[in-house]
Amino acid sequence: MKRLPPAFLLGALAAAALLHSTASGQAIVVDHHCTNLSSIPAAAISQAKSQLHIAYGHTSHGSQLVSGMDGLVAFMNRFPNDAFPDNLFAFTSGGSGGALDLRDSPFPEPAISGRPTAPPGPRRLETTSPGIRPST
C-alpha cells in the first residue's frame, strides 16, 4: 500500500478550505502551490478546524509535520495586526478551545511500524494480505 506524504494533513486542511465559498460564490483553490496564507479567509480555516478530526499516526519522520505546524502557530502569532486572529492555526489533541483536533501518534508504535514486536493482529494482517503493509 502506498504511504501518504506528511503534507497530506495540511492538504486536508486546505481541501476543507476549498469547500468554503467567497461572497461572490467563487471557490477558493488552495493546494501545495499556495504560499500566501492571506489568500485563505480566516473563516474558512475556522470552519475546517471545526469539522476535521485528525488521527495522525507516523514514524519518526512524520513528526516533521507536527513540528512545522508548531512553527506556523508561533510564526503567525508574531503579526498582531494581520487578517488572522492569534492561534488560528493552533492544534491540540481533542481540539479544545477552538483548536484543530490533531491526535499525534494515537496508535501504539508497533502497530504502525510493522516491527516484529507488534501484536499478533498487525503481523497476521501483514502475512495474510500481501497488498497491505504498515508504513515504516
Tell me the average pLDDT across 46-65: 84
Q: Give the H or E element holding residue 103.
A: strand 100-104
Q: Could you state, in order of their start, the residue ranges of all structural domains in the chain?
A: 7-105
Residue for grid cell 483536533:
101
Cell numbers at 30, concatenated: 488552495
What digits encode the pLDDT tens for the residues 102-127? Answer: 988 767 655 555 555 555 555 555 55
pLDDT in tens, 3-53: 555 455 555 555 555 444 444 567 777 777 877 888 888 998 999 999 999
Write down the pLDDT at residue 21.
Answer: 46
Please tell me what DSSP assigns to residue 84. S
Please tell me the pTM assigned to this model: 0.57
